[in-house]
Amino acid sequence: MHLAIIMDGNRRWAKSRNLLKFFGHKQGVTALENIIKISPKYGVSTLTVYAFSTENNKRDPEEVKDLFSLMATVAKKRRGSFVKNGIKVAVLGDLDSIPDKYSNEMRETVETTKNCDNLLIQICINYGGRDEIVRAVERVISKDILLNIESLQNNLDSSLQPDLIIRTGGHRRLSNFLIWQSAYSELYFTDILWPDFDEKELVAALDFYKKEKRNFGK
């Protein structure tokens, strides 16, 4: 099963507790690590998460810097455990626009885990669905091949299509996440803020998915 998650609500979680935004993001990392740990138990073979969107760059520069620093730190700190547990990490998005001191740690984790095969984690960083499609078109043109559905899909950051997309935090929209790949994904929305998303909430989402009849337009 391919599960994708829009991890929304870190800042509101922190605000509700009179904490700095950074602590909300740190707790969000803890929630993600817990979901990664239990995902294989529920048949998840691919987990794609929305960590930082192209639109997030419009936030306060200090918050953006803190987010990149946090992601780079986690990438470095967890690298060994990813390999130990057979977790392959891929990054979707434009890493070239991120300062090298952060992006290099992410690239190193991708390289170190490339042969792992127990669980694939795709982390969307500096990612936007529209931007991904534009970059895919540019790749097709640069290869001088016919632009069609197949060639475009094969030149996306990832052609893998989620079975289920979960969005936490109460909003009912995709917010530029996997625009192409989500064409036939089931969508599950919850008011739970991401730092509070746990195994119980994951099970509820998976139970919803099991009840859905998927006919892909047929």
Residue positions annotated with a catalytic role: 8, 56
Are the beta carbons of 209 and 177 closer than 8 angstroms? no
Residue with tokens 């540019």: 138
Comparing CA positions, the residue from 30, 24, 22 lying closest to residue 8 is 24
Q: How far is CA 185 from the centre of its chain?
A: 15
Kindly state the tokens that stand for 89: 């990490």
Are the beta carbons of 97 and 65 closer than 8 angstroms? no
DSSP 20: -
Task: Report strand pairing: 46-53 vs 2-6.
Answer: parallel
Task: Report strand pairing: 119-127 vs 46-53.
Answer: parallel
Identity of the residue numbered 218: K
Q: How far is CA 181 from the centre of its chain?
A: 13
Identity of the residue numbered 86: G
